[in-house]
A = this chain, B = another copy of it.
Amino acid sequence: MDCLIKDFAQHVGEVVTMKGWSYNVRSSGSIVFLQMRDGSGFTQAVVAKPTVSEEVWNAASRLTIESSAIVTGTVTKHPKQEGVYELQVTDVQPIQIAEEYPIGKKEHGPDFLFDHRDLYVRSKTPWAVLRIRDRVFLSIEQFFHEEGFIRFDTPIIQPTSCEDTTQLFTVDYYETPGYLSQSGQLYSEAGIMSFGKVYDFGPVFRAEKSKTRHHLSELWMMDAEMAFHDQTMNMDVQERLVKRMVKDVLEHCQEELKILERDTTILQKLVHEPFVHLKHAEAKRILKEEGLITKETYDDTYWQDDMSTEEEIALGNKYQLPVFIEDYPAQIKSFYMKRFVDAGGVLRARCADLIAPEEGREIVGGSQREESYEALKKEIVDRKYPLEKYEWYLNTRKYGSVPHSGFGLGLERTVRWICGVHHVRETIPFPRLLNRMEP
């Protein structure tokens, strides 16, 4: 009977057949230990010379690292390790004997590993990380459908940019320049006028000439947009979504988290505790007063600035929970955000970034949108954006404008945080970076 490794626990004492690859091979006299994997999990297949035919023994002995084979045997419980199962082999059918495998004989640097990403993806860490990515993806799909959202796939090739034009990739669209999407948000805002609540989940592109562990040139972004939602309701949806994703990973990805040696204390805590809310000004004050960052002067710029990487990490460390930073100064935020003047006379955006603890940094950015046609148009003109390119977008405020909000969640940053891996390139099958378009 064919059996996946993940299902071995239900077949102890039975003879089963697995199909997969030998990720390691050790032999010790009259025993060959085949470390096998089949995509669903990992197991040890034990071939004892006295118990098998000469043909089977020879077949087992031929297997090299990453050879493919069909292996039959009896499932047994590991004598010492709880929850571990092995195969006492009765038959081995090699499919293809692999050449000497380039990965694994010694420690490799990231350049080597990502030059061979097609092979590196088979290693345990990528296997675990990308399975967690898959689970996060599924959680997002389930969450939005349970909440009554409609998937609204916005275009990748766009005639203009949503915001910053310096980070755009240009594409030759039948001899006219087009741009790869940085965000589908403006399109999603048109979508809610038909569907009420929509989400969009696809690749977006950032031509960022930075080589940090936080940036990819091609990444997956989930954008949600909701009619008749103010910023408080918006943050509530975000908190429920993040809790749901983490809860699902904790429940379904125990083996993956173990492989990653992820301490899940904070993940388990945040599923049940309310997230922290701080105003931007308050966060800046706390960072200064508690000396959480390395800084000598706190001039006007400090109070008006975006949160730096160091500041985000410091706030995550302080609260050990996700933190909403609310009401940034309007001038450093996008043109479409709703504005208000705070008690101190500062023009602020009705927005929040959600900072993940444990160096997760910003994983979500959201805001209530400006719903006034006049105010939005003025902002576009003031910023010297090409008004004619935004005419269709302004229609959302001309024909039945409604209060609405939305947010974007970066999939790779979220997965990096949940997995506890260092570099965001680990969280996507074939990363695209400043210096990497291959394989």
Contacts of A154 in B (CB 8 A): 429-430
- 23 of the cross-chain contacts (CB-CB < 8 Å) are A4-B148, A39-B150, A39-B227, A40-B148, A67-B400, A68-B402, A95-B400, A95-B402, A96-B401, A98-B399, A101-B399, A118-B190, A119-B399, A121-B194, A131-B195, A134-B152, A138-B145, A152-B429, A153-B220, A171-B171, A187-B430, A392-B438, A392-B439
Q: Quick check: A194 and B98 within 8 Å, CB to CB?
A: no
Q: Quick check: B156 and A218 within 8 Å, CB to CB?
A: yes
Given A40-B196, A66-B399, A156-B218, does the pair A434, B118 have CB atoms closer than 8 Å? no
Judged by a CB distance under 8 angstroms, whether A174 is at the interface is yes
Distance (whole angstroms) from the CB of A161 to the closest CB of chain B: 13
Q: A82-90, A122-130, A306-314, A322-330: which lies at the B interface?
A: A122-130
Contacts of A180 in B (CB 8 A): 171
Q: Quick check: B400 and A21 within 8 Å, CB to CB?
A: yes
- Nearest-CB residue, chain B, relative to A5: B196
Q: Quick check: A176 and B437 within 8 Å, CB to CB?
A: yes
- For A133, A228, A400, A437, the residue with the greatest tally of chain B CB atoms inside 10 Å of its CB is A400
Judged by a CB distance under 8 angstroms, whether A231 is at the interface is no
What string of 1s and 0s marks CB contacts (under 8 Å) between A55-93 and chain B? 000000000001110000000000000000000000000
Judged by a CB distance under 8 angstroms, whether A207 is at the interface is yes
Q: Quick check: B203 and A127 within 8 Å, CB to CB?
A: no
What string of 1s and 0s marks CB contacts (under 8 Å) between A386-415 and chain B? 000000110111111111000000000000
Distance (whole angstroms) from the CB of A7 to the closest CB of chain B: 10
Distance (whole angstroms) from the CB of A136 to the closest CB of chain B: 10
Distance (whole angstroms) from the CB of A351 to the closest CB of chain B: 22
Contacts of A193 in B (CB 8 A): 21, 121-122
Contact pick for A68, options B151, B171, B207, B400, CB 8 Å: B400
CA distance A432 to B393 in the complex (A): 17
Judged by a CB distance under 8 angstroms, whether A420 is at the interface is no
CA distance A353 to B39 in the complex (A): 28
Contacts of A434 in B (CB 8 A): 174
Contacts of A151 in B (CB 8 A): 133-134, 137-138
For chain A, the bracket of interface size reads 35 or more
CA distance A19 to B130 in the complex (A): 41
Which residues of A approach B to under 8 Å, CB–CB? 4, 19-21, 38-40, 66-68, 95-96, 98-99, 101, 116, 118-119, 121-122, 126-127, 130-131, 133-134, 137-138, 141, 145, 148, 150-159, 169-174, 176, 178, 180, 187, 190-197, 202-203, 205, 207, 209, 217-218, 220, 227-228, 371, 392-393, 395-403, 428-430, 432, 434-435, 437-439
Q: Quick check: A228 and B121 within 8 Å, CB to CB?
A: no
Contacts of A96 in B (CB 8 A): 371, 397, 400-402
Contacts of A153 in B (CB 8 A): 203, 220, 428-429
- For A118, A155, A193, A435, the residue with the greatest tally of chain B CB atoms inside 10 Å of its CB is A118
CA distance A11 to B98 in the complex (A): 66
CA distance A117 to B254 in the complex (A): 45
CA distance A291 to B405 in the complex (A): 59
The 10 A-B pairs with the shortest beta carbon distances in the complex, nearest first, are A39-B196, A392-B439, A68-B400, A118-B190, A96-B401, A98-B399, A122-B194, A66-B399, A155-B430, A66-B400
Contacts of A396 in B (CB 8 A): 118
Other A-B pairs, 8, CB within 8 Å; known A119-B399, A121-B194 = A39-B227, A40-B148, A96-B402, A130-B195, A157-B432, A170-B172, A173-B437, A392-B439
